[in-house]
Amino acid sequence: MLWDLFSSMIPPIASDFVAGESPAEAIAHVREINRGGVGGIVNLLGEHYSERSPADADREEYCSLLADLGCGDVDGTISVKPSQIGLDVGETVFEDNLATIVERAEAEGVFCWIDMEDHTTTDATLDAYERHATETDSGVGACLQANLKRTPDDLERLAALPEKVRLVKGAYNPPPDVGYRDRDRVDEAYEDCLEFAFREFDGGIAVGSHDPRMIERAKELYDAYGTDFEIQMLMGVRTAAQFELASEGYDVNQYLPFGPKWLSYFYRRIRERKENALFALRAVAGS
């Protein structure tokens, strides 16, 4: 019933949340938000491939995209999902494809974020991130989810690395023994993670949150510790606030997905959690 109601709204919602189907449309959107002082984090839609061929194809799509982003007149980075480039096929496939993408990103002078997926992928993702952060000169970043109980230990592990870490609350519902589901408890964990990062990191903190309270807390921690940070929000969510923060001098970057898989992307999200549909509706109304 929920999907029947929501499916008729997919086209307008897709235009708010997805930067088109082609790389050219994604680059055009990045240029548009650049005019307002906001950078772009470009993500090709696709994930959880069980065979190598689509993972390799998306690797090549990212390499082509990197050439466009590296042209010098675009303020943009990329963000890659491990399961999109082969983690579900095997860790070796993931590592090979990530190495190719990171090498190309380095050659083009473009930063590469490695997304975090559900808790079962955390070790493989952080191992790959740490390897690239310590063994290459490439610009790479990892994402940590505050709703996982292990995250404080992971933050401590990554604090000395010379790259960036994005802190998010977490979009996946972990098992109770692995993470938190209560909203207030997740908020508390997020604030604790923020404080640790601002206190212990030399820089490179990305505050991945639309929550005004968390963004204000990050500003307070910056005043207290002087640690450089950026703010990251999704395309279509609190858009006016993104440009307002950029106009105030904060480093703001918009995470923007693109690609022909947008329909399945929304369908999966709505099937995973009914709250995602309501979130999308609120975001469109309030952006």
Better pLDDT: 278 or 214: 214
The model's pLDDT over 234-277, given as tens digits with 9 standing for 90+, comes to 998 899 999 999 999 999 999 999 998 877 756 655 554 455 55
State residue 268's pLDDT score. Answer: 55
Burial class (CB in 10 A: 0-12, 13-18, 19+), 35: exposed
Q: Residue 278: is its pLDDT beyond 60?
A: no
Mean pLDDT over each residue of the chain, to the nearest integer: 89
Least Cα distance to 101 among 118, 121, 81, 120 occurs for 81
Better pLDDT: 181 or 4: 181
State residue 12's pLDDT score. Answer: 61
The model's pLDDT over 191-203, given as tens digits with 9 standing for 90+, comes to 999 999 999 999 9
Retrieve residue 110's tokens. Answer: 């473009």
Active-site position among 56, 88, 154, 166: 166
Active-site position among 115, 154, 187, 238: 115
Q: Is the pTM for the entire model greater than 0.75? A: yes
Residues pairing with 206 in the sheet? 166, 230
State residue 265's pLDDT score. Answer: 58
- Write out the DSSP string of the chain: -HHHHHHTTHHHHHHHH---SSHHHHHHHHHHHHTTT-EEEEEE-----SSHHHHHHHHHHHHHHHHHHTTSS--EEEEE-GGGGTTTT-HHHHHHHHHHHHHHHHHHT--EEE---SGGGHHHHHHHHHHHHHHS---EEEEEETTBTTHHHHHHHHTTSSSEEEEE--SS---TTTB--SHHHHHHHHHHHHHHHHHH-SS-EEEE---HHHHHHHHHHHHHH---EEEEEETTSSHHHHHHHHHTT--EEEEEEESTTHHHHHHHHHHH-HHHHHHHHHHHHH-
State residue 51's pLDDT score. Answer: 96
The model's pLDDT over 21-79, given as tens digits with 9 standing for 90+, comes to 899 999 999 999 999 999 999 999 998 999 999 999 999 999 999 999 998 789 999 99
pLDDT tier at 171, thresholds 50, 70, 90:
confident
State residue 15's pLDDT score. Answer: 73
Q: Region 97-124: what's the mean pLDDT?
A: 96
State residue 10's pLDDT score. Answer: 38
| 166 has catalytic annotation | yes
| 213 has catalytic annotation | no
Task: Report the range of poorest mean pLDDT among 17-21, 219-223, 277-281.
Answer: 277-281
